[in-house]
Each structure stands twice: as structure tokens, then as C-alpha cells.
A = this chain, B = another copy of it.
């Protein structure tokens, strides 16, 4: 066991992965638990990260013709009930508004008053309320497609919560589209899945597998659900975005009808797709190390922090002048779609300051002292390297190389994650090997084990249930790019035509 003090975060990943996750978040200032059960506070460092993620995603949506809109927070209970599977899927986790004012009760305390005729559910997702608008917007094939996205908060009353991964309230976007044909709707479903994969790989530096969910893992009411799946450093899978082909189910429930070119009335074909603050959880668990989180440059809350170092008042003036002029210069540099985000931290807290920024996961740290200035240089540390692995680099070279340096960090994070995933993705055909893979083999660190097992599955839900019950393992997805191959189900031995991805999951 590692001694305390070897790393900035205690416990380490190996010592206690779930606890490490809570501690890196705390140390980073990304978010914190709130006084409201299961709800988080996203702190400025976390919210800036979310703003960068959302602005990348929003631009990709708009480039495909999606328009943003906003729909009510509340859904009448009767709306939710219109699609039977849908309401069944969400009934257990609905926050329900039953009153619309507060009044002094008999003992002087304020109590809910003004009972609503119909209870309102705080949206867990908005298919039914948006469907209601669609039913009014759409009457002819000329009105189609309708391509809408909403950035919003949603509430799902979870019993066990974990910051970013599973909170009662979370932030997300939910896209909703309506089409004249099944083919067009399915194409849109897969296009949005592609966009999620692009966001994950190019911005969040998360390698993901695009795939189709089995029936048991589908969105309630969907015909087909697709997802992107990433591997965390405890080898569990995390679903980082889902895209649903809803067929005509929700159109029928909400009355979304149109006259086709032959003047016949049809139900529209709809899709919905969402990604949430959960992606931040994926990012933390994929890239973080025992010193804290590591932010991929493309979405980092800030790219570089300048840390002036001085002892005397005379030094301070020269160092601050140099630092501020460098900060101004850096803030003008373009990095992909944006300008460099630069922080200057002139607190005189010594080593604690440096560790603060390591724990915050900023990609680059730049120390500037009198000696650096004398050499017209800076002293550079990369967060993706060891914390003592720093180099002196001429100021001009540093400025010129900065975008490239950040791209190197980005690439390194992606490749490290891919290497990790590949190392723990195993093609398995024997049942014993499968059981052994998913059985913790070290009593001290039970959390880190398993991986992605590429194994055959006969297609029966009975086998899914059995593996879930016995091992806690589920089918994460049937990869989209999956070669056809004859084999035998890892559970029952019945014939199978393709391998699927089995894993434990968040």
C-alpha cells in the first residue's frame, strides 16, 4: 500500500476507487454536494468546463440544422401517461409538484397550500411535453423535418446519488426531431450518435464504442436505443450519450400527424437524444490520476496558469510585469474555436498554490521567477506528465508552441485512455474465463477488476438476467461496426451470430 503523502489525493485509485472519485472532485473545486438531497452545486471551475462542452456540442448540432428552443419544466401527469412504457420507466423517480403556495399552518409553520387540480411532474425528460408542441406545429409533410434541441435541467429522483454520475437534478441537452419517414428518422438518430462520439473523442479525449442497446436497456418507449460507451479506470463502462429511434410510438401518444404528399394522414417518425453533466464524471474517471483530475485542453476550464515566483518586493514588481505581459500575449492566441483561457495566480501560498492547480487539472502550469526572466524563459509543467517533470523553455518558443503543446496533451490523454481500454478489452469464449474476469480477485481493492468482454450472446433476455444477477454484468452495447461471426452464447451455449460488449457499468 502506498504511503499517504505520495500523491495529492488520498485514497489513491487503487486504494479505494469510489472514494478517490469523491476526493478528486472535492480537491478540484468542480462541484460539491448541496443541502438538497441528491442535488449538486456546480462550482465555477466545473461550470466553465460545462460551458466549453456545451458550446462545442451546440455548434455541432447547429451545423446539422438543429435549432434550440425551450419547453416547460413541468409535465402534467396525464401527458406522461400517454406512453405506457415511458411512464412506467420514470414513475419511480418523479419529483411531483402538488401545491402552488405556502400558508401558515395550525402551529404557525409554513405548509404547502393551494392544491393543484392535476399534479405536475418536474421533467425527467421531455418527449411528451415537446410532442404536444410538435402536434400543433406539424400538419403537412412540408413542415417536416422538425429539428429541435433544448438545454435544460431535468430531475430524476435517484436513491443513491454520486456527483456528476447520478444526481437528482442534472443539466443536459435533449434533442427531439420529427420526420416524414422511418429511414430519415433512423438516419438522424445515428447522425446524433456520431456527434456524441465526435464530442467524446475529439473534445473529451474519451475513446468510445458506438452501439445498439439490447431491449432491456432501451429508453422507455423507444424502438431502438443507441449509445456511446467509455471505459473508466476501474474498468467499468459508462454510457456517455444516448440517441433513440422512437418509431411512431411517441407520435401516436402525442398525436403528431401530417398529411403526406399523397394527402394521406400519417404519424410522424420521431427521435430523441441526450447528453448530460454525466460526461464530466466520465472525463474525471478516465483521465484523473492520484494527484487529481486532468482536463483535456479542448474543453478545459482554463488552458494555462501563470505562477509568478518572487521573494523581495523588487523581484515582485519585475516578475509581475513580465507575467502580466505574458498573460496579455497568451490571451490573444487562438486555440481551435476559441482564444486561450489564461489564469494568473499571484497568491503567495508557495507550494500549495502549485498543488492547487495540479488538483484542478489545468493542462499547463508556468512558473515565472527572476531567474526565468533573466533567461527570457519560463518553467513549464504539463499536467499529463509527472509533477516534477518540468522544463525551462524560451518565452518565444513557448508562445509559438502553445497550441501545439496543448494538442499534444490532448492526444496523449486520448491515447492513454485508448491503451487502457485496449488492455482491458478481452475476447472471451469460455464461460469460466468470463466468470473469473468479472469476479474481484483482490479483497483489498475489489473495485478495480473486469473490463470489456467481447463475447457471444444468443439474444435471449434470460441470459442477460442470469449474468446480471450472478456477476452484475450487463450488455453495454452491440457495436455498430461488428463483424458477423458464428459462435456460442457465453451464458447458455446457444448459437450466436455476433459478439457483444459485456461489462459492469455505472
- So how many copies of this chain end up in the complex? 2
Contact of A102 among B74, B76, B96 (CB under 8 A): B96
A60 to chain B, nearest CB (A): 16
Cα A329 to Cα B92 in complex, Å, equals 53
Known contacts A101-B157, A102-B96; decide if A81 and B110 are in contact (CB<8 Å).
Answer: yes
Contact of A112 among B42, B69, B103, B119 (CB under 8 A): B119
Q: Is the CB of A98 within 8 A of B100?
A: no
Contact of A70 among B47, B76, B79, B99 (CB under 8 A): B47
Cα A372 to Cα B72 in complex, Å, equals 45
Q: Is the CB of A110 within 8 A of B98?
A: no
Known contacts A36-B75, A44-B148, A110-B81; decide if A171 and B101 are in contact (CB<8 Å).
Answer: no
Complex: chain B residue closest to A66, CB-CB:
B44
A235 to chain B, nearest CB (A): 31
Contact of A77 among B34, B102, B148 (CB under 8 A): B102
Residues of B within 8 A of A35 (CB): 72, 76, 79, 129, 132
Residues of B within 8 A of A119 (CB): 99, 111-112
Q: Is the CB of A133 within 8 A of B41?
A: yes
Complex: chain B residue closest to A29, CB-CB:
B137
Cα A129 to Cα B34 in complex, Å, equals 9
Residues of B within 8 A of A136 (CB): 32
Q: Is the CB of A69 within 8 A of B47?
A: yes
Q: Is the CB of A96 within 8 A of B91?
A: no
Residues of B within 8 A of A100 (CB): 93-96, 157
Q: Is A121 an interface residue (CB 8 A)?
A: yes
Residues of B within 8 A of A69 (CB): 41-44, 46-47
Q: Is A51 an interface residue (CB 8 A)?
A: yes
Contact of A91 among B80, B92, B103, B169 (CB under 8 A): B103
Cα A119 to Cα B76 in complex, Å, equals 19
Q: Is the CB of A72 within 8 A of B36?
A: yes
Residue pairs across A and B with Cβ atoms less than 8 A apart, 17 shown, are: A34-B71, A34-B72, A34-B129, A34-B132, A35-B72, A36-B129, A41-B69, A43-B69, A44-B68, A46-B69, A50-B70, A74-B169, A87-B102, A92-B102, A95-B97, A97-B97, A153-B153
Q: Which residues of A are interface residues toward B (Cβ below 8 A)?
A: 32, 34-36, 39-44, 46-48, 50-51, 67-77, 79-81, 87, 91-103, 110-112, 114, 119-122, 129, 132-133, 136, 148, 152-153, 155, 157, 169, 171
